[in-house]
Chain A
Amino acid sequence: MKAPAFAYLRPVSIAEAVAALAEGAGGARILAGGQSLVPMLNLRVAFAETLVDIGAIADLRAVSDEGETVLIGAGVTHATLEDGASGDHWCGMLAFVARDIAYRAVRNRGTLGGSLCHADPAADWPVAMMALGATVQLAGPDGERALASEDFSVDVFTTALEEDEMLTGIRLPKLSPSARWSYRKMRKKAGAFGEAIAAVVHDPARGFTRVVAGSSAVGGPCRLEALEGAVASGSLAAEATIRAALAEREPDLDRYEMQIHATCLRRAMKEVSS
């Protein structure tokens, strides 16, 4: 199946892209790597009157070291992060997460920003970015704004982006060298979306601890603050505590879903505490 006809624009600057979105008045969509959007357009489960292809905007591929944080351009590909070509200030976590997203041919086109904006509930980056305490940088007709990843992620396939806004970059705090992290995913085969994801980051030097679960079953990234105290204090949370934290956020998990999410969380928390 092929996509219905759409108009196509290929701006070379963020300002041009934002202007194109405004002109599209709700019918325009950003095309980043297209590794989800193009098949969804073809299957006619996503629609666009105009595609604004941001692949020619060099600024979106820039990575800037800001001292305590790094601003990663929204157009940086999974493969670039897998190869560590943009530098590693996260003790290998970004490369580890990137390496297990789909397949290399997809990672060569798919982008960090595209993944966050697409907001597939089973995607890796929304979970990993929330666990690292990322903020996202948005550009719109009225200028720029920044949002914490918890506020950016609204629901399944839904973000806080306005129709005339685009994601331009992801600001990530650097981890201290002594920080620990774990990223656990259960999936049916290499390259498939995770059925359950758990990401735990513990950076005592910065007083930063995050526990995040993700998957379609839990409706995308969800921070489990109730479990962060145990990680911060170096103790192991009881299985019942993990299940209770999950049930509180997502009461409708069936037994299998509860089992795989609780297992991912337990393993990730244990790995960080060990």
Chain B
Amino acid sequence: MTTLSLTVNGEPVRAEIDPRLSLADFLRENLALKGTHLGCEHGACGACTVVVDDMPMRSCITLAASCEGVRVTTVEGFDDDPVVTRLRQAFRDEHALQCGYCTPGMLATARDIVLRHDRPDTEQIRAELAGCICRCTGYRGIVRAIARVIETKSQATAAKAGTT
């Protein structure tokens, strides 16, 4: 066993864990944060993507033990995140989910796309999303939702630039 201390959704957490435990299993089984979904469990599908120190990472192929001292944000911890708040509305408006299984990973990934890109075209959004698999909605709604949030971000930036 090894001792782990980290911050999950703003709360300090300490635990004794088996070193082979994945971050995803730690979140789901030890902390009962079932919003992090497991699909392929080898890093290909993106369903388990969470935000670690402000970067999206695969929780299924990240050892919990490697997360000493980090800040993890799961889908349960996005309520005060302004970008995810806008993404959630856009996902609703654009029908960017049906069953919702991929959505926690999609939101963590979409948040990162919005934060790192100012004027991506559809091709770039699709390339950035390539690591997140959705098997029911199709990607058009998801791509539109992300593009819409980036558009409002660009407008806000332009408006801000205009006033200074």
Contact = CB atoms under 8 A, between A and B. Distances in A.
A53 B61 contact: no
A103 interface: yes
Contacts of A53: 63, 65-66
A240 interface: no
Nearest to B42: A39
Interface in A82-129: 102-106, 108-109
Contact-residue bracket for chain B: 20 to 34
B2 A103 contact: no
A10 interface: yes
Chain B facing A: main interface SS: mixed
B63 A108 contact: no
B62 interface: yes
Nearest to B105: A105
Given A2-B20, A105-B131, A190-B127, A31 B46 contact: no
B19 interface: yes
B94 interface: no
Contacts of A141: none
B53 to A, nearest CB: 9
Query: Most chain-B Cβ atoms within 10 A of its Cβ — which of A7, A8, A56, A104?
Result: A104
Given A10-B65, A43-B42, A109 B20 contact: no
Contacts, number: 86
B56 interface: yes
B73 interface: no
A31 B61 CA distance: 12
Interface string B82-126: 000000000000000000000000001100100000000000001
Interface string A1-34: 1111111101000000000000000000001001
Contacts of A39: 41-43, 61
A191 B62 contact: no
B49 interface: yes
A252 to B, nearest CB: 29
Contacts of A227: none
Nearest to B18: A5
Contacts of A189: 130
A42 B42 contact: yes
B52 to A, nearest CB: 8
Contacts of A159: none
8 contacts: A2-B20, A5-B18, A5-B19, A31-B66, A35-B58, A105-B56, A105-B58, A106-B131
Interface of A: 1-8, 10, 31, 34-35, 38-39, 41-43, 51, 53, 55-56, 79, 102-106, 108-109, 189-191
Interface of B: 2, 18-20, 22, 41-43, 46, 49, 52, 55-58, 61-63, 65-66, 68, 108-109, 112, 126-128, 130-132
